[in-house]
Amino acid sequence: MAYVITEACIDVKDGACVVCCPVDCIYEGSRSLYIHPDECINCGLCVSVCPTRAIYDAHDLPTELREYERINSEFFGPAVTALGSPGGACDVGSTGIDHPEIRSYTRQ
């Protein structure tokens, strides 16, 4: 299991996690970033730099944020970006696309 970006990243996207990720597996949408579930090596470095505490080990997700494991995974699938597993976010750049549930998210 990988690490997961949750709602506290939405509309923040400062990119601190991207800079520290050793395998470049954090991809950019329009309102949020997304961690690739197969490319993440579970090092945990991104957790310590996130100013909004948006990142969790999937095993430790609070109940109310559990859906974000699916959202991060579906971002790469055919129904959203169809990126598959590109092997690095740098070459992909900003997709300008969000998972539909992030797109429609209204901050509380």
Binding site for ligand SF4 (CB under 6 A): 3, 5, 9, 12-17, 20-21, 23, 25-26, 33, 35, 40-46, 49-52, 54-55
Work out how close the CB of 77 gets to ligand SF4 at its nearest, in angstroms, rounded to a whole number. Answer: 18
Q: Rounded distance, CA 104 to CA 31, Å?
A: 10
Q: How far apart are CA 108 and CA 84, in angstroms?
A: 32
Nearer to ligand SF4, 40 or 71 (CB): 40
- Taking the complex as a whole, how short is the minimal distance between the CB of residue 20 and ligand SF4, in angstroms? 6
Of 7 and 81, the one with the shorter C-beta distance to ligand SF4 is 7
Asked if 93 contacts 28 with a C-beta cutoff of 8 angstroms, the reply is yes
- Measured from the CB atom, the residue of 23 and 84 that comes closer to ligand SF4 is 23
Report in angstroms how near the CB of residue 65 gets to ligand SF4 at its nearest: 13
Distance in Å, CB of 46 to ligand SF4, minimum: 3
Cβ proximity of 35 and 25 under 8 Å = yes
Within a 10 A sphere around the Cβ of 55, how many other Cβ atoms?
A: 23
How many angstroms separate the CA atoms of 77 and 69, rounded?
13
